[in-house]
């Protein structure tokens, strides 16, 4: 089917672009910049000089400023995508489902989840993630113990010129050290640290639930339409004039031709549910084990070639998570970060 082929190409394109954005965001010189530079060198005899200069300005100035400085571009994109999806849901799906006598609470569920998601988004994006300053540095150093492997006492941040507290990291985007640093989220335009990790987890879970609710209601509407039309018991004629019973590929194409915007939105929210569901499961795993994304990534490298200076060179360094205290206490720490006074009492 031509439609199915184009739709699969669209899904693959979205996944590839997302992967490239993730890869580019972590490098000083992005993949996009290097590709454009190499192409301009090969085509330097054809491309005019002024166009080459313009391309260099875009790749050398625009790309680093996009991925390595705080920008509201992804926040605006985030809001635009939500507005487009809910606009289509309100304009068509909600009206059709109301005519088919769907329960009102089911139809209002995505809006309730959206309200909670927007609240978590604002609290997480506007909150102080746990920026380390000279005034709070002394107290934050005492919150977590140094494990001697991933976090060692006496390590000084070369930018902030302060000793790094355990579980902290300097964010090159925000240009500051963050207590219990998890990662910098471009969709929030803010870091995720000790002070807003709980709101980020709720934001991620509510966003996943919103996408899943939209997908489930849309599937329920299309299924009701198929049952009422009795199209599954019909037949169709192919290009050669031969009669065939209706199958799933033909049914999908038929629904797309009948409700193109709804089916397109359904494909997007299903993809979003799968991606966010996987990320939510990973974030819950980190919360249950009291790890951050930064710590999990760093722990993959230990036991291979890193050694403590006090250990023999032929002994592998094994990382052990000393911060995990059980699932419930770990979850409590996400939503109520410990202080130096609490650790002193313990």
Q: Which residues are catalytic?
A: 185
- At residue 277, φ and ψ (nearest 5 deg) are -65, -45
Calculate the average pLDDT of the chain.
80
Compare 231 and 328 and report the one with higher pLDDT.
328
The per-residue pLDDT for 238 is 62
Digit-coded pLDDT (tens) for 26-82: 444 444 445 545 555 554 554 555 555 555 554 444 444 555 567 788 889 899 999
User: What average pLDDT does the segment 82-96 reach?
Assistant: 94
pLDDT at residue 267 above 80?
A: yes
pLDDT at residue 192 above 60?
A: yes
CB atoms within 10 A of CB 245: 10
Q: Which DSSP helix (H) or strand (E) runs through 275?
A: helix 260-288
Locate the domains of the chain by residue range.
Answer: 69-129+200-305+318-344
CA dihedral sign, ordered 109, 113, 116, 119 = negative
263-296 burial, b at 16+ Cβ within 10 Å, e below that, comes to bebbbbbbbbbeebeeebeebeebbeebbbbbbe
In terms of Cα–Cα distance, which of 261, 216, 32 is closest to 113?
A: 216
Compare 214 and 72 and report the one with higher pLDDT.
214
In terms of Cα–Cα distance, which of 224, 247, 213 is closest to 117?
A: 213
Contact between 30 and 68 under an 8 Å Cβ cutoff? The reply is no
- Please count the CA atoms within 13 angstroms of the CA of 330 that sit on its side-chain side: 17
pLDDT at residue 4 above 80?
A: no
Rounded Cα distance between 255 and 251, Å, is 6
Digit-coded pLDDT (tens) for 290-341: 999 999 988 887 743 334 444 454 455 677 889 999 999 999 999 999 876 5
Length of the chain, in residues: 346
In terms of Cα–Cα distance, which of 143, 142, 187, 137 is closest to 157?
A: 137
In terms of Cα–Cα distance, which of 141, 102, 42 is closest to 340?
A: 141
Rounded Cα distance between 230 and 34, Å, is 55
In terms of Cα–Cα distance, which of 187, 194, 68 is closest to 131?
A: 194
pLDDT at residue 268 above 50?
A: yes
Q: Which DSSP helix (H) or strand (E) runs through 245?
A: strand 243-245
pLDDT at residue 230 above 70?
A: yes
Q: Which DSSP helix (H) or strand (E) runs through 35?
A: helix 31-42
- At residue 236, φ and ψ (nearest 5 deg) are -140, 160
Compare 111 and 252 and report the one with higher pLDDT.
111
In terms of Cα–Cα distance, which of 167, 140, 184, 200 is closest to 299?
A: 167
Compare 17 and 152 and report the one with higher pLDDT.
152
Digit-coded pLDDT (tens) for 118-169: 999 999 999 999 999 999 999 999 999 998 888 989 999 999 999 999 999 9
Q: Which residues contact 255 (CB under 8 A, 6 or more apart)?
A: 222, 225, 226, 263
The per-residue pLDDT for 14 is 64
Q: What is the pTM of this model?
A: 0.77
pLDDT at residue 233 above 60?
A: yes
Provide, rounded to the nearest whole percent, the portion of the chain with pLDDT above 70.
Answer: 68
Distances (CA, A) of 70 to 60, 189, 239: 17, 6, 55
User: What average pLDDT does the segment 167-192 reach?
Assistant: 93
Contact between 335 and 326 under an 8 Å Cβ cutoff? The reply is no
The per-residue pLDDT for 276 is 94
């Amino acid at each position: 089917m031509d439609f199915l082929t184009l739709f699969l190409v669209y899904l693959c394109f979205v996944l590839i672009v997302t992967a490239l954005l993730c890869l580019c965001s972590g490098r000083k010189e992005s993949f996009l910049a290097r590709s454009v530079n190499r192409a301009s060198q090969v085509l330097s005899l054809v491309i005019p000089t002024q166009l080459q200069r313009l391309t260099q300005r875009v790749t050398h100035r625009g790309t680093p400023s996009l991925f390595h400085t705080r920008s509201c571009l992804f926040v605006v994109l985030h809001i635009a995508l939500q507005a487009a999806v809910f606009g289509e849901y309100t304009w068509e799906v909600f009206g059709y489902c109301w005519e088919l006598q769907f329960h009102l609470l089911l139809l209002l569920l995505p809006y309730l989840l959206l309200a909670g998601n927007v609240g978590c988004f604002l609290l997480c994006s506007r909150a102080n993630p746990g920026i380390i300053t000279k005034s709070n540095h002394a107290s934050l150093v005492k919150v977590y113990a140094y494990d001697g492997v991933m976090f060692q006492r006496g390590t000084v941040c070369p930018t902030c010129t302060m000793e790094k507290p355990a579980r902290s990291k300097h964010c090159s985007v925000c240009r500051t050290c963050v207590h219990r640093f998890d990662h910098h989220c471009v969709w929030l335009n803010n870091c995720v640290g000790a002070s807003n990790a709980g709101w980020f987890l709720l934001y991620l879970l509510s966003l996943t639930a919103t996408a899943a609710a939209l997908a489930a209601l849309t599937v329920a509407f299309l299924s009701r339409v198929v049952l009422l039309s009795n199209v599954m018991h019909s037949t169709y004629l192919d290009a050669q004039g031969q009669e065939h019973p209706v199958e799933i590929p033909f049914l999908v194409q038929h629904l797309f031709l009948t409700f193109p915007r709804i089916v397109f939105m359904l494909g997007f929210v299903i993809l979003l549910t799968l991606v966010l569901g996987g990320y939510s499961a990973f974030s819950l795993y980190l919360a249950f084990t009291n790890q951050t994304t930064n710590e999990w990534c760093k722990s993959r490298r230990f036991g291979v070639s890193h050694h403590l200076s006090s250990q023999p060179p032929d002994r592998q360094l094994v990382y052990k998570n000393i911060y995990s205290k059980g699932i419930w206490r770990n979850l409590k720490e996400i939503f109520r970060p410990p202080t130096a006074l609490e650790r002193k009492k313990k």
